[in-house]
């Protein structure tokens, strides 16, 4: 992955071979503390106009119009939306078009099969995972529940994934979990946890390997340890913003 920057917006970019993924940071937006500055999450206590502006800035930095960016209401599940769908909401947010928020579909990932749209998930410790293959590109929101439920395998199968990129998320240095969470990954073998400290990126890597994904790149950055770069739900005790993972077809 390589760092990119445009107009103050900074992100990590991964080449997936015929597709790309970008992982945004908190830098380059207009939101005020504690959401400073590129908060993309509407379902926070941030000012909605600021979130609107942040979303537009990110889309433009990546050479997309807001209407090209596909998103959903995330519920820590395993459902993916294969686009195109009937939903035509703008990343500029629902308020611009007076659309009720409950009209936004619930899903934790997206599949696109042609150039044009960009698939986006919101994160603030969970992993954004991009998958690419001959049948398209997928971007999934992979917290422990999604990983345990098979969202990575579902995304990989949907696009025939041969490559993947794991974006920044909470690392084993900061992710203490209970027995329920550790038990959900007991079949992955040794090395995914030290005591109660779970290595979520390593869990994702092993699940990607199990799904037949040949090339996997990981950002290797802990959102909790990098307050200048990333929002972290756990570090900030829930009062924080959201960054994003975005994937699209094209060079």
- Please name the fold of domain 2-249: 3.60.140
Q: Write the CA distances from 57 to 15, 40, 51, integer angstroms.
A: 22, 10, 10
pLDDT bracket for residue 129 (50, 70, 90) = very high
Handedness of CA 118, 119, 123, 129 (dihedral sign): negative
The separation between CA 134 and the C-alpha centre of its own chain, rounded to angstroms, equals 21
pLDDT in tens, 156-201: 999 999 999 999 999 999 999 999 999 999 999 999 999 999 999 9
pLDDT band at 97 (very low <50, low <70, confident <90, very high): very low
What's the pLDDT at 96? Answer: 43
Q: Quick one: average pLDDT of 63-85?
A: 92
Query: Domain ranges in the chain?
Result: 2-249
Which tens digits make up the pLDDT trace of 193-236?
Answer: 999 999 999 999 999 999 999 999 999 999 999 999 999 999 99
pLDDT at site 116: 92
User: How many CB atoms lie under 10 A from the CB of residue 35?
Assistant: 26
- pTM of the predicted structure, to 2 decimals: 0.94
C-alpha closest to that of 174 among 133, 232, 118, 116: 232
Encoded tokens for 145: 């529940």
pLDDT of residue 46: 97
Q: Is 24 helix (H, G, I), strand (E, B) or coil?
A: strand
Tell me, rounded to whole angstroms, the distance of Cα 118 from its chain centroid: 12
Alpha-carbon distances of 246 from 59, 161, 167, 243, rounded to whole Å: 10, 16, 10, 10
DSSP secondary structure letter of residue 71 = -
């Amino acid at each position: 992955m390589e760092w990119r920057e445009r107009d103050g917006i900074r992100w990590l970019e991964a080449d997936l071979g015929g597709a790309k993924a970008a992982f945004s940071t908190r830098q380059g937006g207009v939101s005020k503390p504690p959401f400073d500055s590129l908060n993309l999450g509407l379902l926070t206590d941030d000012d909605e106009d600021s979130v609107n502006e942040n979303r537009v800035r990110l889309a433009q930095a990546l050479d997309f119009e807001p209407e090209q960016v596909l998103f959903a209401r995330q519920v820590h599940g395993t459902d993916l939306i294969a686009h195109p769908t009937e939903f035509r909401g703008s990343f500029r947010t629902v308020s611009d078009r007076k659309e009720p928020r409950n009209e936004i579909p619930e899903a934790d990932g997206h599949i696109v099969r042609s150039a044009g749209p960009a698939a986006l998930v919101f994160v603030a410790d969970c992993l954004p995972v991009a998958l690419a293959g001959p049948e398209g590109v997928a971007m999934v929101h992979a917290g422990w529940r999604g990983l345990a439920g098979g969202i990575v395998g579902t995304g990989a199968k949907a696009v025939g994934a041969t490559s993947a990129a794991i974006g920044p998320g909470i690392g084993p240095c900061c992710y203490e979990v209970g027995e329920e969470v550790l038990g959900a990954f007991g079949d992955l073998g040794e090395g995914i946890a030290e005591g109660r400290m779970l290595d979520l990126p390593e869990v994702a890597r092993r699940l990607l390997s199990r799904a037949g994904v040949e090339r996997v790149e990981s950002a290797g950055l802990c959102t909790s340890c990098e307050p200048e770069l990333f929002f972290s739900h756990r570090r900030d005790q829930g009062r924080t913003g959201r960054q994003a993972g975005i994937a699209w077809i094209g060079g």
